[in-house]
A = this chain, B = another copy of it.
């Protein structure tokens, strides 16, 4: 598959079982999204959690109960168009599947939340380093000691992703990512990792460690994994999420989300 296929072509390949790999770098220029599906009875509180924590959980789309068709990709079906899903029951991980036709029902609400792929592209376009891409690794992610604002049964620590760069590059990265407030926006922290409860940058809680060069500082952005920790923090009968790195590719262009 050409990696510049339009989103609907890519989704068709996924739907027909011809693509089940991670979506990093595919359909460049188009926004990818985190997926959370959960019972309608808790949808208000989960939406409230997202509204109260917009940096880790920027809302791209929320659907009516039972509806699998997002407004930001009208020909898509969220039950089949992601390469890989995770199923949680009563707060515990159950299984990983390639479609959720048998798990999603009329009583579930789907949430699509922004992810950092959009701003990584903007960083690269500005000549800034994205070390995880340079080294062919997953981005380093850490659970911080910062608590998100809870809502109803949902609570989670803030999870951050980290990209090392020089202080001068960090200033430029703040400017660039500020434009993308729906894909996590400006950094939440830079410099001293211990100030936000991170002991060892080389031992991320999710993803892979990356090289930090001389004169570079870690720059931390809010991370969509936060929403998955929140969704599974309550013992709901069922929660469905994308599998890490296997995102939903929308019809939105990255620039559609830029504020300025």
Contact = CB atoms under 8 A, between A and B. Distances in A.
A109 B48 CA distance: 12
Contacts of A141: none
Given A47-B47, A47-B51, A48-B47, A259 B178 contact: yes
Contacts of A259: 178, 181, 259
Contacts of A47: 44, 47-48, 51
Interface in A147-167: 149, 151-152
A1 interface: no
Interface in A2-39: none
A43 interface: yes
Interface in A37-80: 40, 43-44, 47-48, 51-52, 59, 62, 64, 71
B64 A59 contact: no
A133 to B, nearest CB: 27
A260 interface: yes
Contacts of A43: 44
Contacts of A71: 149
B51 A152 contact: no
Contacts of A178: 259-260
Contacts of A149: 71
Contacts of A44: 40, 43-44, 47, 109
Interface of A: 40, 43-44, 47-48, 51-52, 59, 62, 64, 71, 109, 149, 151-152, 178, 181, 259-260
10 contacts: A44-B109, A47-B51, A48-B62, A51-B51, A51-B62, A52-B62, A64-B151, A64-B152, A181-B259, A260-B260
Given A44-B109, A71-B149, A260-B260, 19 more contacts: A40-B44, A43-B44, A44-B44, A44-B47, A47-B47, A47-B48, A47-B51, A48-B62, A51-B51, A51-B59, A51-B62, A52-B62, A64-B151, A64-B152, A178-B259, A178-B260, A181-B181, A181-B259, A259-B259
